[in-house]
Amino acid sequence: GNLLWGREYSEEGTSSGSSLMLAEEGFLLAGRKDRHGFVMKTDMQGESEWIITIAAEMQDSSVSQLLTVPDGFLVVGSVIDEGDSFWDMSVARYNWQGELIWQQQHGGDRDDMPYGAAMLEDGGIVVVGSTRSHGGMMRGMIVLQLDQEGNLLHEWLFEHPAYHVTGVDVLPTPSSEMAILANLHTDATTHDMSLLLFANSAGELTQVSRIWLGGDVRGSGMAHTAGGEILVTGMASWQE
């Protein structure tokens, strides 16, 4: 638990970090500076090697998650086109030099936001998040299945008549299903419950489990344990 080294990265403007992962002989740090997301590559001691602005030509951009792929990485996030007012989901592939290989946008006529993503065995990508583009009163959870170049293969929408539904993380399972962590809430600040959903390759739910019945729960992430179980992290508020 002893600190080995620390680095502070600062430039003009307001910046914050949101994601960190191991990269080729170093680390990738993602964050947001002013109105755009960025990704920085460092060496193993945290010294900056390069930094790129995500979707610099767009009005706004942000980074939700980084994923490694052969010879590079994926940036999953959100963008707003110049002159527009709503977010689209964005998936972009870069090489280890920070050069853009391709970028794909997915969205409708209102906000579509990604919060979790994972790689599939065939090299495809699954993205979960929330959408208002379906026209309902409540936000729905959206699940996108993309091919190796970010093209849309399948799109699934999960809604509830009384709750906003947000997909926050996704994991592939050994049985070729998707485990999806979803939060259901009635307003912007109170999350009433968190669900663990299992869906097959056709997007059909095969199992739904509520996480902890003792109070309000806000799930934030998932990971596989060494034994193959799914570990869920988040926060809970006990209710008498």
Residue % of the chain over a pLDDT of 90: 68
Contact 107, 144 (CB under 8 A): no
Band of the pLDDT at 190, cuts 50, 70, 90?
A: low
- Which pLDDT does position 83 carry in this prediction? 86
Is 139 a residue whose pLDDT tops 80?
yes
Across the range 108-137, mean pLDDT stands at 91
Confidence at 46, pLDDT banded by 50, 70, 90: very high
Predicted model pTM? 0.90
